[in-house]
């Protein structure tokens, strides 16, 4: 059987059992985009403006809702409107990391009510498999999907080896899990997507240990599915829309190169 | 040299370099309490009522501010008033778990502004040492302290062996770290406190993998410093103040038994 990495996103969408993943692959195909924007901005106005500007070029908007200093319920409504307008999914990068009973409350409740609006969220499995069960109790009835943090992009990170393997094992066993945060394809046992942070057109890093890899490395060579780009697209002196287009093209070309000649 | 576990909290407070830890040990001694309450309630009114009821018996109030559905700035002010009234510290159990650049924003900003009011917070070191550096940039100037999640209390948790050792290594090397979440004393290299969740007077568990250990096991035998108790103290049919007193006594007796005859 061919690797999932050798199939088109369209084909994988057709064959996938999870409605949310079907939708995601359909969006990717329609928009010819495997680009996710990491929207790490700290005001509502900035977040909405950024989402509206990059919206046409991305398949997934990745948020850190808890860094927005003037968050309110209206922000969520307007994000949902932008998601509908521009045809993208919302991924709240919450990195849940507590016991099952606690993450249920954090995911479904509080001020943010993440499960009500984020199509996708993620978790560390360090608390054990109960974290997946707790999140699934809240998110599954709403048609949401979960990514496991099988690897990270920061220097000296400890999600490696047996720990990464354990993520893969749990992902295969739990149908609420739709994929991974990581740098590569992890399994052929079922079609679990990989989203990769720390992607840049130029390899470099920041002062707090973030490290960057190129789309060719991540998509063509490693078989990951979606690149997550943040500071490469927006920031001082950057033409945000132009950079988003550039990354979309780079990601899509890397994907076409992976498929090879027709 | 005697183990830190053989010294009184008062003595350790006198010898400690970190002002926050000095204050914590002083509170513990004044109130004869090594009890922390895990306040996992979902409304402002419940949280404030609970903190006021158990306040006299605890050294640390552990919060999950993001499960409070009607959170507002007034809640934080009133928690701080209760902390002053009853002489306890506030520990926001945020379990930060992202790269340094992101946790800086999450800890210092957003709606919650955790660094402004939580004396203590905690993190997983799975992203690498950059997470400690990021949090320290925000919290150190404010006199805050950080606990590393060296172990967890849930079934099948993956914070074990070399991963736990790495936590200990990073804690020793970073003076913003004041201790651990875990089940025992981890090092004698410097006086790092251990706070232990999943403590109950009767061993049992919940349906999502939480497991309970007794104060005698945790404090007397394992050399941990503070017991964290939640559902053992409050909940349907429970006399909250009476249960808090009971756990305070059990924790303190376990501590006195550890010190042995004078």
Q: What are the distances in angstroms from CA B97 to CA A154, A251, B127, B208?
A: 11, 27, 7, 21
Active site includes A98?
A: yes
Task: Give the residue among B20, B228, B13, B14 at the shortest CA–CA distance from B119.
Answer: B20
Is the model more confident about A37 or about B262? A37
What is the pLDDT, as a whole number, of residue B206?
A: 73
Nearest CA distance, B228 vs chain A (angstrom)? 14
Nearest to A42 among B64, B109, B129 (CB): B109
pLDDT for B198 beyond 70? yes
- pLDDT score recorded for residue B261: 78
**pLDDT tens digits, one per residue of B111-124:** 999 999 999 999 99
Selected residue of A95, A106, A165 to mutate for chain B interface (largest B Cβ count, 10 A):
A95
Question: CB-based contact (8 Å) between B170 and chain A?
Answer: no
Please list every residue in chain A whose beta carbon sits closer than 8 Å to the beta carbon of residue B65. 110
Instruction: Report d(CA A196, CA A193) in Å as an integer.
Output: 10
- List, in sequence order, every residue forming a beta bridge with B148; answer none if it has no partner: B123, B180
How close does chain A come to B187, measured CA to CA in Å? 21
pLDDT above 80 for A102: yes
A185: left (phi over 0), alpha (psi -120 to 50) or beta: beta
3-state secondary structure B186-225: CCCCCCCEEEECCECCCCCECCCCEECECHHHHHHHCCCC
pLDDT at position B191 over 80: yes
Is A153 annotated in a binding site? The answer is yes
How does pLDDT run across A62-98, given as a tens digit for each residue? 999 999 999 999 999 999 999 999 999 999 999 999 9
Cα gap B205→B157, rounded to integer Å: 14
What per-residue confidence (pLDDT) applies to A188?
Answer: 97
Residues A132-158 pLDDT 10s: 999 999 999 999 999 999 999 888 999
| CA dist., res. B51 & res. B61, Å (int) | 7
Please answer yes or no on whether A109 and B149 come within 8 Å at the CB atom.
no
The catalytically annotated residue of A7, A44, A95, A166 is: A95
Q: Which of A69, A126, A130 sits opposite B110 (nearest CB)?
A: A69
The pLDDT, as a whole number, for residue B56 is 98
pLDDT by residue (tens digit) across A200-236?
987 666 777 777 899 999 999 999 999 999 989 998 9
Least confident of B7-16, B121-130, B203-212: B203-212
Whole-angstrom distance, CA of residue A248 vs CA of residue A253: 8
Asked if A180 and A171 count as a contact pair (C-beta separation under 8 A), the reply is yes
List, for residues A12-33, the tens digit of each pLDDT value. 999 999 999 999 999 999 999 9
CB contact under 8 A, A109 and B40: no
Interface of B with A in 241-260 (CB under 8 A): none
B155 in contact with A at a CB cutoff of 8 Å?
Answer: yes
Structure tokens belonging to residue B136: 């320290």
* Average pLDDT, rounded, for chain B: 95
> What integer pLDDT is reported at residue A206 of this predicted model?
73
Question: For chain B, give me the number of helices (H) and strands (E)?
Answer: 9, 8
- B111 and A210: CB-CB below 8 Å? no
CA distance A49 to A40: 12
Residues 120-149 of A with CB under 8 A from B: 124-131, 133-134, 149
Q: What is the DSSP string of A131-173?
A: HHHHHHHHHGGGT-EEEEES--SBTT----HHHHHHHHHHHHH
Give backbone dihedrals phi and psi of B95, rounded to 5 degrees, phi first.
Answer: 50, 60
Give me the pLDDT at residue A120, please: 99
Question: What's the pLDDT tens digit per position in A177-194?
Answer: 999 999 999 999 999 999
Q: What is residue B203's predicted lDDT score, i.e. its pLDDT?
A: 61
Which chain A residues are within 8 Å of B176, Cβ to Cβ? none
Positive or negative, the CA dihedral A33, B98, A158, A113 is negative
Nearest to A111 among B111, B129, B206 (CB): B111
């Amino acid at each position: 059987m061919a690797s999932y990495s050798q199939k088109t996103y369209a084909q994988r969408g057709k064959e996938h059992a999870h409605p949310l993943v079907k939708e995601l692959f359909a969006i990717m195909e329609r928009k010819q985009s495997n680009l996710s924007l990491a929207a790490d901005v700290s005001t509502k106005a900035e977040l909405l403006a950024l989402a509206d500007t990059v919206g046409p070029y991305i398949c997934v908007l990745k948020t850190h809702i808890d860094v927005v200093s003037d968050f309110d319920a209206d922000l969520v409504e307007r994000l949902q409107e932008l998601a509908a307008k521009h045809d993208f999914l919302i991924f709240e990068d919450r990195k849940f990391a507590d016991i099952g009973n606690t993450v249920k409350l954090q995911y479904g409740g509080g001020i943010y009510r993440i499960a009500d609006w984020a199509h996708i969220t993620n978790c560390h499995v360090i608390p054990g498999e109960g974290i997946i069960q707790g999140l699934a109790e809240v998110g599954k009835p709403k048609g949401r999907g979960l990514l496991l943090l099988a690897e990270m992009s920061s220097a000296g990170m400890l999600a490696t080896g047996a720990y990464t393997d354990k993520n893969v094992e749990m992902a295969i066993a739990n149908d609420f899990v739709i994929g991974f945060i990581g740098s590569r394809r992890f399994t052929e046992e079922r079609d679990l997507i990989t989203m990769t942070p720390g992607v840049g057109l130029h390899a470099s890093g920041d002062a707090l240990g973030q490290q960057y890899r190129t789309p060719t490395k991540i998509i063509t060579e490693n078989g990951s599915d979606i690149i997550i780009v943040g500071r490469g697209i927006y920031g001082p002196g950057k033409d945000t829309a132009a950079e988003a287009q550039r990354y979309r093209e780079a990601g899509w070309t890397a994907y076409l190169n992976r498929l090879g000649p027709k």
